[in-house]
A and B are shown apart, each in its own frame.
Chain A
Amino acid sequence: MKFIDIVKTAIANSFRSKLRTGLTVIAIFIGAFTLTITSGIGTGVTSYIDTQVSAIGAADVLTVSKAADSTSSTTDGPAAYDPSKATTVSLGNGSRPGTTIQALTARDLTKIEKTSGILGVDPSVRVTPDYIEYDGKGKFEIIVNATATLTKADLAAGSQLSNASTADQILLPTTYLKNLGFPSAKAAVGRTVSIGITDYTGAQQTVKATVVGVQNETILGVGAGLNQTLTDTLHAIEVTGAPAGATDSYATATAHFDVTSTPAEITAIKDDLTKQGYASQTVADQIGSFQTVINVIIGVLNAFAVIALIAAGFGIINTLLMSVQERTREIGLMKAMGMNGGRVYTLFSTEAVFIGFLGSALGALAAVGVGSLVSNILADGVFSALPGLQVVQFAPSSIAIIIGVVMLIAFLAGTLPARAAARQNPIDALRYE
């Protein structure tokens, strides 16, 4: 019997008992559907995070802060006063309201800079400009994205911020364009905008900055990105007229190390900083912990889907055993007519694989349909604040893998009944009533 005939016969045989095959296909369908959806969520969320923060973008940067003071625990009461310690500063945006951490002082910065492996350190200064204006078309409030220098932006036009540049650079979010009077993202690139900022004495000053790029809005900070030079310029104006030492404390600092450092070297730098009482994290650490959580959730969901598929595998065994039982005479006849055991085995295995294929292909197809629909509804509804987030995304390769794995499970489930069929003696089979 030719292979193509075996396949055709197997397919025809699986449709002979439509109800039974149908029920088995439903069982596989559920497993494949779940697996496809969970893998789709995995793909969607991961690709969203990847586009939002090209995590690798600032691989040479550590965010350093003072480690939480172990002595000031709730049971021991307040720690003894240390005049050399800076006052606490409250963390802004993103942290628990009212939480404070020990501030970094100029002395801390020097200490961090001296740590071996650290090439330079910049205090993370938070500047609060009053307005932004382009070409006299009206002043608008400006929010500064504090993490802009740490991440690679998802650009709509132009280029990334350059911290090495001595020019004052700004990266505008797409949402600013219309109000400022730019017809398109491309039109904004290269233009000069004015930023208004109030100094310590209350006088307002203006700084000119060049728009180097336009970025799609991201979860890691809505607002305009400033390069280090512009931040420094604005900070210098903000502290103009301040009494000495009044603004000399920072919540965090950004330390740079050699971009070619190996993970072991980075760990060594971090350990060194920990010993000196500083907590440090690379961008990869920050995003990595987020991704780990998502991966664990998806892993658990996948495990459930696989359990469903294993249950479906027993369904296949059952279906085929009944099929072999029902077709005992037919198998006997085929063997009497000179069909060898191997072909009989292949015939039943193929039937199992076909049932697996049918269930998984339908399941994956339905998952893609439902997933895309739900994802679009969510993107316009609950997640409309997160532009570009498609919660469920499907990679053709992972769908192919899922279908392949299900077919493999089906094949394995089919071996037992197929062996039973192949081993039948034609005489016993023909006598079977």
Chain B
Amino acid sequence: MSVPVLSAHNIGKSYGSGANRFDALKGVSLDIQAGESVAIVGKSGSGKSTLMHLLALLDDPDSGSLLVEGTDARKLKGKEVNRLRNQDFGFVFQQFFLTANATVLDNVVLPLKIAGVPPRERKARGMAALEQLELADKAKNKAINLSGGQKQRAVIARALVNNPKVIFADEPTGNLDTATGAVVEDILFALNKDKGITLIIVTHDIELAARCDRQIFIRDGLEDTTESGASRKRHAGAHAGAHA
């Protein structure tokens, strides 16, 4: 088996100190292979978002270790972490985080701007990403004037613009109605299948989670192995059925 893209060993994270200390994550281990689609499932407050933040190197774990393509994340310098987040990771958030008064194109090319890509190339790549998500005609519109589904597609275009290896999606359909949500889901899974982009989706939506290759259930800061195991079995069964 090849080196996992991300590999967590017993990672934990707590916030506050003393009496206010709150252990958000109490030790979770997992491996994520390149090209997989993984759902991190749990109720709100279960620690699933914290786990995603740690995997995305947005936060440092208090205990345990995290390997990025075999390298210990603690050994990475700030510059390398920034490069990794900028070029290898793409982020899709429930709340979109689009700059309201900037154009859709400007929003989409933000990662390229941070990377220092020259304006001409930025525009070409931004337009290509928008084209892919059928938003090219909205490129000059202000982000605030888009519908919810269009906003989420713009966010996916932004996550995609740097040709990342991994896309982290935090409740990507949380703010969308069922029909639009389904479209966004289809786009994400198409990217996973066609481009081999690793997909890590944080969600409490069981149906969305079921579409992923694998589900990791988080409860009270720990992996709920019975649930995860059951889903693994279901998954394996489904595969077996399909091949039968």
Which A residues fall within an 8 A CB radius of B?
1-2, 5, 9, 12, 16, 329-330, 332-334, 336-340, 343, 425-427, 430
Contact = CB atoms under 8 A, between A and B. Distances in A.
Contact of B113 (A1, A329, A336, A425): A1
B78 A340 contact: yes
Contacts of A2: 116
A337 B59 contact: no
A334 B114 contact: yes
Interface stretch (B65-73, B81-89, B127-135, B183-191): B81-89
B79 interface: yes
A329 B79 contact: no
Contacts of A336: 56, 58, 85, 91
A330 B99 contact: yes
Interface of B: 53, 56, 58-59, 78-79, 81-87, 91, 93, 97, 99, 101-102, 110-111, 113-116
Rank and list the top 4 A-B pairs by shortest CB-CB distance, nearest first: A338-B86, A338-B82, A338-B85, A339-B114
Contacts of A9: 113
A340 B84 CA distance: 12
A1 B111 CA distance: 9
Contacts of A333: 97, 110
A338 B84 contact: yes
Given A1-B114, A5-B113, A337 B58 contact: no
B97 A338 contact: no
Contacts of B99: 330
Which has the most chain B C-beta neighbours within 10 Å: A333, A425, A427, A430? A333
A340 B102 CA distance: 22
Nearest to B159: A337
Contacts of A340: 78-79, 82
If over half of A's interface residues share one DSSP class (helix, strand or loop), that class is named, otherwise mixed; here it is helix
26 contacts: A1-B114, A1-B115, A2-B116, A9-B113, A12-B102, A334-B110, A334-B114, A336-B85, A336-B91, A337-B86, A337-B91, A337-B110, A337-B114, A338-B83, A338-B84, A338-B85, A338-B87, A338-B111, A338-B114, A339-B82, A339-B114, A340-B82, A425-B59, A426-B58, A430-B58, A430-B97
Contacts of A430: 58, 93, 97
Which has the most chain B C-beta neighbours within 10 Å: A2, A336, A337, A427? A337
Contacts of B58: 336, 426-427, 430
A430 B56 CA distance: 13
A59 B79 CA distance: 66
A62 to B, nearest CB: 70
A338 B85 CA distance: 5
Nearest to A337: B111
Nearest to A340: B82
A338 B110 contact: no
A338 B59 contact: no
Given A336-B56, A338-B86, A427-B53, 12 more contacts: A5-B113, A12-B102, A330-B97, A332-B97, A336-B58, A336-B91, A337-B85, A337-B86, A338-B82, A338-B84, A339-B82, A340-B79
B97 A329 contact: yes
A427 B91 CA distance: 13
Contacts of B82: 338-340
A360 B116 CA distance: 31
A16 B81 CA distance: 31
Nearest to B56: A336
A217 to B, nearest CB: 61
Nearest to A332: B97
A340 B83 CA distance: 10
A97 B83 CA distance: 85
A323 to B, nearest CB: 13
Contacts of B114: 1, 334, 337-339, 343
Contacts of B59: 425, 427
A140 B107 CA distance: 83
A260 to B, nearest CB: 63
Contacts of B116: 1-2, 5
Contacts of B111: 337-338
A331 to B, nearest CB: 11
A16 B53 CA distance: 30
A334 B82 CA distance: 10
A427 B15 CA distance: 12
A156 to B, nearest CB: 58
Given A1-B116, A337-B86, A16 B78 contact: no
Nearest to B102: A12
Contact of A338 (B53, B101, B115): B115
Nearest to A2: B116
Given A1-B116, A337-B110, A427-B53, A16 B101 contact: yes
Which has the most chain B C-beta neighbours within 10 Å: A12, A16, A338? A338
Contacts of A5: 113, 116
Nearest to B113: A5
A156 B59 CA distance: 78
B120 to A, nearest CB: 13
B194 to A, nearest CB: 24
A432 to B, nearest CB: 10
A12 B81 CA distance: 28
A332 B59 CA distance: 12
A6 to B, nearest CB: 9
A2 B102 CA distance: 19
Which has the most chain A C-beta neighbours within 10 Å: B87, B111, B114? B114
Nearest to A431: B49
B72 to A, nearest CB: 19
Nearest to B59: A427
Nearest to B91: A336
A302 B99 CA distance: 42
Contacts of B83: 338
A329 B100 CA distance: 12
A242 to B, nearest CB: 92
A338 B162 CA distance: 12
Nearest to A329: B97
Contacts of B84: 338
A350 to B, nearest CB: 14
Nearest to B88: A338
